[in-house]
Chain A
Amino acid sequence: EAQVTQNPRYLITVTGKKLTVTCSQNMNHEYMSWYRQDPGLGLRQIYYSMNVEVTDKGDVPEGYKVSRKEKRNFPLILESPSPNQTSLYFCASSRTSGGATNTGELFFGEGSRLTVL
């Protein structure tokens, strides 16, 4: 089954304790991205990756890191989480077509709800 898998789905942690949210897709997609979703603000892009070893900042990258060592995996790292990073996080992937752009159809993981105390 084609899917994007995120782990953990739920996490409560404390300020400053480093954590990683994993994301894996089995569709051989080049493009992967991380979003956070907050009430009233919609989905905001954190980081994205066009392909292996190619990553770039989205709209709200502060406090986050990513890596893309393999095509299927795109982990999101919070080196020193703070309460304002409490949010619902989505990983997404898509194939690319025609060069730099994707098709517009993003396949999302089920989301990871993070609470930072």
Chain B
Amino acid sequence: RKEVEQDPGPFNVPEGATVAFNCTYSNSASQSFFWYRQDCRKEPKLLMSVYSSGNEDGRFTAQLNRASQYISLLIRDSKLSDSATYLCVVRSSGSARQLTFGSGTQLTVLP
């Protein structure tokens, strides 16, 4: 079983739609959680951290469910520019190397 699992998609949604991605992690000792965004053929970039109480950044909402070991990302009012691959990233306690990336969920927002 992969440490971090995501539905690869692709998710094809119309502009203005609300879309949600889930990500599950297997290590219950995981401490920190993040969503990264990767545009086609580009490097990943941090989108947002995920806090225990959930957090929002504009149209983006991230939530964490420790009991079920999953995190989610909700995008409201999708824009064409949201088209990208979204990577779920989990960090366990201790060693700095334990940043584990999911394989990503591909989103295409259609006009």
List chain A positions with a Cβ less than 8 A from chain B.
Answer: 31, 33, 35, 40-45, 48, 50, 56, 58, 90, 96, 100-102, 104-106, 108-111
- CB atoms of B97 and A33 under 8 A apart: yes
CA distance A42 to B23 in the complex (A): 13
Count, chain B residues at interface, CB 8 A: 23
Q: Does B94 contact A (CB under 8 A)?
A: yes
- When the two chains form their complex, are residues B102 and A42 in contact, meaning their CB atoms are under 8 A apart? yes
**Chain B 29-71 near chain A by CB (<8 Å), digits 1 or 0:** 0001010000001111110010000000000000000000000
B96 engages A104 (CB within 8 Å): no
Contact (Cβ within 8 A) A100 B43: no
Contact at A100–B44, with CB atoms within 8 Å?
Answer: no
Enumerate chain A residues within 8 angstroms of B11, measured Cβ to Cβ.
none
Kindly count the residue-residue contacts between A and B in the assembled complex, taking CB atoms under 8 Å apart.
Answer: 56
Q: By the criterion CB–CB under 8 Å, are A40 and B43 in contact?
A: no
Question: Once the chains bind, are A111 and B43 in contact (CB under 8 Å)?
Answer: yes
Q: Are B44 and A104 in contact (CB under 8 A)?
A: no
User: Is chain A's binding surface mostly helix, strand, loop or mixed?
Assistant: strand
Structural contact, A43 and B96, CB atoms closer than 8 A: no
Partner of B97, one of A45, A105, A109, A110: A45
Distance (Å) between the CB of B40 and the closest chain A CB?
Answer: 12
Chain B residue with minimal CB distance to A56? B97
When the two chains form their complex, are residues B97 and A108 in contact, meaning their CB atoms are under 8 A apart?
Answer: no
CB distance from A4 to the nearest CB of B (A): 8
Cβ of B28 within 8 Å of any chain A Cβ, yes or no, is no
| B99 interfacial by beta-carbon distance below 8 Å | yes
A110 and B42 in contact, given A96-B96, A104-B32 (Cβ under 8 angstroms): yes
| B75: A residues at CB distance < 8 A | none
- Shortest A3–chain B CB gap in Å is 10
Given the interface pairs A101-B96, A104-B91, the reply to whether A43 lies near B46 with Cβ below 8 Å is no
List B contacts of A45 (CB < 8 A): 97, 99
Interface-centre pick from B89, B91, B101 (highest chain A CB count, 10 A): B101
CB distance from B70 to the nearest CB of A (A): 17
A45 to B98, CA, bound (A): 9
A-B contact pairs, 9 of them (CB 8 A): A41-B103, A42-B87, A90-B44, A96-B96, A100-B95, A101-B95, A108-B44, A108-B45, A111-B42
